[in-house]
Structure 1
Amino acid sequence: MGRADAAAIAAGTPGPVLMAAAGRAVARVALRRFRPVRCLVLAGPGNNGGDGYVAARLLEQAGWPVSVAALAPPRPGSDAAAAAAAWRGPMLPFHPAEAARAGLVIDAVFGAGLARDLDGPVAGTLRAARAPVLAVDVPSGLDGATGQVRGFAPRAAVTVTFFRLKPGHLLLPGRELCGELVLADIGLPAGVLAAVRPRAWRNAPGLWRPPEWGAGAHKYSRGHLTILAGGEMTGAARLAAGAAHRVGAGLVTLLAPDAAAAALYRAGDPGTIVSAAGLEALLADERRRAWLIGPGLPGDAATRAALRRLVGAGRQVVADAGALTACAGAPQALAGCAVLTPHAGEFARVFGPVGQDKLAAARAAAAATGAVVLLKGADTVIAAPDGRAAVNANAPPSLATGGTGDVLAGSIAALLAQGMEPFAAAGCGAWIQGEAARAHGPGLVAEDLITLLPNAMELARLNL
C-alpha cells in the first residue's frame, strides 16, 4: 500500500486528497453502522492518525460529540499534520479512562505496516475500550502482512480499509479481529497495480476459471483420474473418488492394493472403475495423466516409492495424507508433484513448523519442491513456486471434520485431470469446498460435501 500511495501521488493524486477520502470513508461507516454517541478517536502520529482526524471533523460536522486523543503529534509538514491542524474540537489525554468512557472508539493509532509489538499505554488504552471499536485499516497491533497480533490488538466491530485488502485481513487470527470488513475506494487509480505488481490475492472466481465443456466433450476429453487406494482406510479413497466424479472428471479409477481390497471397493459407487492390476499396468495407459496418492495410504516407504514412480513417469500428481507423511523430513522427495495438500501437522512433519507467517511458509515450501502447496486450515493458503499466493477465506468451521481433506484432494485432482493448471485447480478446489459447506450449514459430514460440489461449481461460473 505504501508503494500504491506513492505511485498514485506520482501520477497526480495529492496525498491530502487520499487522506481526505480515507477519513470520509471511515466517517461514512460510523454514520451508517452506529447511532450518534460520544465518540473518541485515538490518533497515532502517522497517516492512520491523519485519517482519524479527518473522520473526527466530519462526524462533528454531522452533530456527533467527538473528541480526539493523540498518542503523539504528527510529523511537521506531513499530510497528517495538516489534518490535525484542521481539527478544532476537544483534545483528551491518551489514557485508558477516556477510552472506557466512550460510546464508540475509532482506532486510528497504527495501520497495517506496524513493525513492532504493541504494549504499554497504547495497549492499555485500547484494552480499556468497553464500547464498539471501529478500526482504521486494521485494528492497531495487527500485522497486515501475516494476520498475527503484535503484542495486543483490539477486537473491532468494523474495520475500514482502503483500495485493496491486506493478507492480515484474511489470515487468522486477523480475520476474526477485524469484525465486519469494509473495503473503501479512496481514489487510487487501478493502474497503480501495474507498478505494485501484487503477488497475493483473495481466492475467488476470476483468479481462476472452472472447466467448461461443449457439446463435443466425452469422458476421455474430460480426463481420467487414478487414485491409489489403501486396503484399510478405504473410506478416504472413496470420498476422494466421489468428489472427483462430481467435480467433472470423465473417468475415475481406484487402484486397489490387492484382490480383497478391490472387491470391497467394487461394492461402492458403481460409476467408479476399480482395478487391482498394479501400478505399472495402469501407468502403461498414457491417458491416465492425473493421479492422486495419499488418502487412506500408510506413510511408509512403499507409498513414497509409488509417489516417486508416478513423478518419474511424468504424471500430474496430487500428494495428500499418507504420501506427505511418507516424506517426513524429506521435502525433496515431493519434488515434481503438481499439488501438495498438507494440514499444519503434515506440513510440520515435512517442512518444519508453519510459524507466524503462513504465507511465507507456504511460499518457501512451494519454491523448495516446485509444487503448488495448499496449506489447509480455516485460512487456507495456496502458494505457487513462482511466488503467487492466494488466501481462501470462505471455509466455515463445519469443515473441521474427518474426511473433508479427502474430498478436497479428490476435487483438486479432478480439476487437474480436466486441464486446469495446478495453482488454479488448487484455488478452485478450495473455494468450491467452502461454498458447498456454507450451503449445507450445521451438521456437515464429509459425505454431504460431495453432492453439493456441482452447485458450488456452477456458482463459481456465475461469479466470474
Structure 2
Amino acid sequence: MMLPLADLLLSPDDMAAVDRAAAASGIDSYGLMEKAGQAVAASALRHFPGALRYVVLCGPGNNGGDGYVAARALRQSGAEVLLFHLGDLKTLKGDAARAFADCFVAGEALERYLPRAGDMIIDAIFGAGLSRPVPDQLAAIIARVTEAGTPVIAVDLPSGLDGRSGQVLGAAFRAERTITFMTRKPGHLLMPGRDLCGALEVFDIGIPARIVRTHANRMLAENTPAQWLANLPTAASDTHKYKRGHLVVFSGGATATGAARMSAMAGLKAGAGLVTIASPEQALSVNAGMLTAIMLHAIEDEAALREWLSDKRLSTFVLGPGFGAGELARQFALALSDRHLVLDADGITSFRDAPQRLFDAFADGPTRLVLTPHEGEFARLFPDIAADGALSKVEKARAAAARAHAAIIYKGADSVIAAPDGRALINANAPPWLATAGSGDVLAGIIGGLMAQGVPAFEAAAAGVWLHGVAGQRAGKGLTAEDLVAHVTPF
C-alpha cells in the first residue's frame, strides 16, 4: 500500500535532500518559500483572529525566510505585525535574503521582544534546522514567552526541538500549533516533541510526490494499520479454534495471578483459538474460581514444562506478568527458545545480569521473540544503548532489536516498535490514561494472541500496540486494566 505523503516520516536531513532535489529539478525554491509563508500567515489568521499583534520571530536560515513571507502576508491583510530577527541580517543568503528584501515590515533584534497581552507569536527561528543547544538569547526569549503564556505557532518545528529525536536542545517553545510542509519528521511524533508541537498541520507546498518518496525512509513510519493489516488473519468459513492457535500465559503463585488472567483474556479477545494459563499447583484453584473460557494447566518447574512442550500445538507463550523475577523465569524462557515468546515485565528483569543468554537462545531463524520493555527495563537489558545520549528513541530501539534478534516495543507515550532488519514504527494513538497498573499485561496478551494466529513477531507487536491504544480510547478516562480487556477487539 502506498502511503499518503502526510503519513511519511522524513528526518531533517532527508527533507533537506528533498529541497535540494526539488531545486535541481527546476522548481522555483522561492516559490515554495512563498507558499510556506502564506500558509503560516493563513493559519495564524484562521486560528488566532482576535490577536492584537502578530509577532514574527525570524532566524538566519530558510525557516526565517518563511517567517518574513508570513510577516508580509499578515501586514498585507491589515494586521498589526511586529518583526524580530536573530543574528546579523547582512549574513542572510539565498531565498531567505530575498524574502527579507521583499518584506516591508521593519524588524528589531530578537532580544528586544517583550510579550504583551494580545500577542500571538510565529516562531520561524530554527524549525528543523538545529542540531545544537539554542543560543542564550533565544533561551531567554523562550523563557519570557513561556512565563507570559503567549500563544505560539511554530514553523516546521518549535525552535529548540530536534526534528530527528523529538528532544529539547536546551530550551524550546511550546507551540499551540505547528505548520510543517509536505510530510512530518520523527520529532513531530516522539516525546516530548509531540507535546511541544501542539496541533500539527501538514501543508502541501507543491513539491512533487515522486521527489518526496524518493528520499523518504521506508524503514520508518507512524504505526498505523497500513503497516501490518495485510499480515493479520482473516476468518474463513472453515476456521476452527485449533487453526487460530493456542496461547499459553504463565501465572505466578496463588497471590500473584491477576496479571496472567488479564493477559490471557486479552489474548483470547485478540483472536487466539485456545488460551491456557500455566501455573503452580497452588494457584490452580485461585485461577479456576476467576475464569471460564480460559483453560488451566499445572506447571511447577522446568522439567514439567519441557515435558508439556512435546505438544507442538503449544506455539506461543507470554511470560512475565506477575510471574516473579529470577531463575525459574530464566529457565522457562530458555526452554521456549524454539517457540514464539512475548517476554514482559518480570521475564525481562530476570535477564538483567545475563541478557546475552536470552539473545543467543533466539538468535537463529525467523524472529520469534517479542520484548516489551519500558524505559527502566530497557536500560536493564541494553545498558550501553540506553546510556547513549546521541541516539534517538528510534535508533535505540533499532539497535536493541538487532542485538536481541527480537521485535522490541520500547514502551512509553511514544512507543517505538522495531524489528531486527531495521524497520521501526512510532505509535501515536495511545491515550495518556493507559498509564495504569496492568495495562502492560493486557498489551502482552494481545500480542501473544496475534502471534498464536500466525502473525509475524514484528507485525504482531505493532498491531498489538495499536489495538491496545484503540482499546484505551474506547475504555475512556479512569480505566482499569479490567476495563481495558473488555474493550480489546481484533481488527
Per the TM superposition, whether the score is higher than 0.5 is: yes
Q: Work out whether residues 99 and 126 of structure 1, in 8 Å CA contact, stay in contact via their aligned partners in 2.
A: no
Match of 2:102 in 1: 86
The Cα offsets for residues 369-401 of structure 1, whole Å up to 9 and x where unpaired, read as 010110111111111112211111222221111
What amino acid sits opposite 2:352 in the alignment?
A
Match of 2:340 in 1: 316
What amino acid sits opposite 2:208 in the alignment?
P
The Cα offsets for residues 196-220 of structure 1, whole Å up to 9 and x where unpaired, read as 3342211112111143212221111
The answer for unaligned runs of 5 or more in structure 1 is 459-464
Rate the CA distance shift 1:255–1:181 in 2: closer, same or farther, 3 A: same
Rate the CA distance shift 1:195–1:140 in 2: closer, same or farther, 3 A: closer
The Cα offsets for residues 31-89 of structure 1, whole Å up to 9 and x where unpaired, read as 21011531111111111111111111111121111132121337555121121111112
Match of 2:12 in 1: none
Q: CA deviation at 1:282?
A: 2.8
Q: Work out whether residues 320 and 346 of structure 2, in 8 Å CA contact, stay in contact via their aligned partners in 1.
A: yes
Q: 1:49 aligns with which of 50, 64, 81?
A: 64
Residue 209 (structure 2) pairs with residue 178 (structure 1): no
What amino acid sits opposite 2:63 in the alignment?
N
Q: Work out whether residues 40 and 70 of structure 2, in 8 Å CA contact, stay in contact via their aligned partners in 1.
A: yes
Instruction: For residue 289 of structure 1, give the secondary structure of its aligned residue in structure 2.
Output: strand
Rate the CA distance shift 1:325–1:359 in 2: closer, same or farther, 3 A: same
Instruction: For residue 379 of structure 1, give the secondary structure of its aligned residue in structure 2.
Output: coil
Match of 1:239 in 2: 262
Match of 1:360 in 2: 395
Instruction: For residue 79 of structure 2, give the secondary structure of its aligned residue in structure 1.
Output: coil
Rate the CA distance shift 1:27–1:198 in 2: closer, same or farther, 3 A: farther
Match of 1:461 in 2: none
| TM-score normalised by structure 2 residue count | 0.88
Residue 313 (structure 2) pairs with residue 287 (structure 1): yes
Rate the CA distance shift 1:211–1:37 in 2: closer, same or farther, 3 A: farther
What amino acid sits opposite 1:282 in the alignment?
W
Instruction: For residue 274 of structure 1, give the secondary structure of its aligned residue in structure 2.
Output: strand
Instruction: For residue 143 of structure 1, give the secondary structure of its aligned residue in structure 2.
Output: coil
Is 21-30 or 277-286 further displaced after alignment? Answer: 277-286
Instruction: For residue 422 of structure 2, give the secondary structure of its aligned residue in structure 1.
Output: coil
Q: Work out whether residues 127 and 154 of structure 2, in 8 Å CA contact, stay in contact via their aligned partners in 1.
A: no
Q: Work out whether residues 122 and 153 of structure 2, in 8 Å CA contact, stay in contact via their aligned partners in 1.
A: yes
Is 443-452 or 176-185 further displaced after alignment? Answer: 176-185
Residue 228 (structure 2) pairs with residue 208 (structure 1): yes
Match of 2:111 in 1: 95
The separation in 2 between residues aligned to 1:225 and 1:74, in whole angstroms, is 68
Aligned runs of 1:70-85 on 2, under 5 Å?
Answer: 70-72=85-87, 73=89, 75=91, 77-85=93-101
Q: 1:104 aligns with which of 120, 131, 135?
A: 120
What amino acid sits opposite 2:234 in the alignment?
E
Match of 1:462 in 2: none
The separation in 1 between residues aligned to 2:26 and 2:418, in whole angstroms, is 35
Q: 1:269 aligns with which of 280, 287, 291?
A: 291
Q: CA deviation at 1:253?
A: 1.2
The Cα offsets for residues 173-222 of structure 1, whole Å up to 9 and x where unpaired, read as 11111111112222222223233334221111211114321222111111
What amino acid sits opposite 1:170 in the alignment?
L
Instruction: For residue 82 of structure 2, give the secondary structure of its aligned residue in structure 1.
Output: strand
What amino acid sits opposite 1:307 in the alignment?
A
Q: CA deviation at 1:318?
A: 0.9
The answer for unaligned runs of 5 or more in structure 2 is 1-14, 363-367
Q: Work out whether residues 162 and 184 of structure 1, in 8 Å CA contact, stay in contact via their aligned partners in 2.
A: yes
Rate the CA distance shift 1:252–1:429 in 2: closer, same or farther, 3 A: same
Residue 472 (structure 2) pairs with residue 437 (structure 1): yes
Q: 1:197 aligns with which of 201, 206, 217?
A: 217
What amino acid sits opposite 1:166 in the alignment?
K
The Cα offsets for residues 391-444 of structure 1, whole Å up to 9 and x where unpaired, read as 112222211111110000000111111122222111111111112112222211
How many aligned residue pairs are there?
Answer: 453
Aligned runs of 1:298-447 on 2, under 5 Å?
Answer: 298-311=324-337, 314-335=338-359, 336=362, 337-352=368-383, 354-355=386-387, 356=389, 357-447=392-482
Rate the CA distance shift 1:415–1:151 in 2: closer, same or farther, 3 A: same
Q: CA deviation at 1:101?
A: 6.8
Percent sequence identity over aligned pairs: 46
Aligned runs of 1:130-209 on 2, under 5 Å?
Answer: 130=148, 131-191=150-210, 192-209=212-229
Q: 1:25 aligns with which of 28, 32, 39?
A: 39
Q: Work out whether residues 96 and 124 of structure 1, in 8 Å CA contact, stay in contact via their aligned partners in 2.
A: no
Q: 2:24 aligns with which of 5, 10, 21?
A: 10
The Cα offsets for residues 335-384 of structure 1, whole Å up to 9 and x where unpaired, read as 22521001111111221273553222211111110101101111111111
The separation in 2 between residues aligned to 1:126 and 1:382, in whole angstroms, is 33
The separation in 1 between residues aligned to 2:34 and 2:355, in whole angstroms, is 50
The separation in 2 between residues aligned to 1:164 and 1:386, in whole angstroms, is 24
What amino acid sits opposite 2:319 in the alignment?
I
The separation in 2 between residues aligned to 1:333 and 1:21, in whole angstroms, is 56
The separation in 2 between residues aligned to 1:17 and 1:321, in whole angstroms, is 53
The separation in 1 between residues aligned to 2:456 and 2:107, in whole angstroms, is 57
What amino acid sits opposite 2:167 in the alignment?
Q
Q: CA deviation at 1:122?
A: 1.4
The Cα offsets for residues 117-147 of structure 1, whole Å up to 9 and x where unpaired, read as 0131112123322321111111110111111
Aligned runs of 1:62-77 on 2, under 5 Å?
Answer: 62-72=77-87, 73=89, 75=91, 77=93
Match of 1:37 in 2: 52
The separation in 2 between residues aligned to 1:88 and 1:383, in whole angstroms, is 49
What amino acid sits opposite 1:193 in the alignment?
R
Instruction: For residue 442 of structure 1, give the secondary structure of its aligned residue in structure 2.
Output: coil
What amino acid sits opposite 1:293 in the alignment?
L
Q: CA deviation at 1:252?
A: 0.7
What amino acid sits opposite 1:434 in the alignment?
G
Instruction: For residue 113 of structure 2, give the secondary structure of its aligned residue in structure 1.
Output: helix
Is 67-76 or 30-39 further displaced after alignment? Answer: 67-76
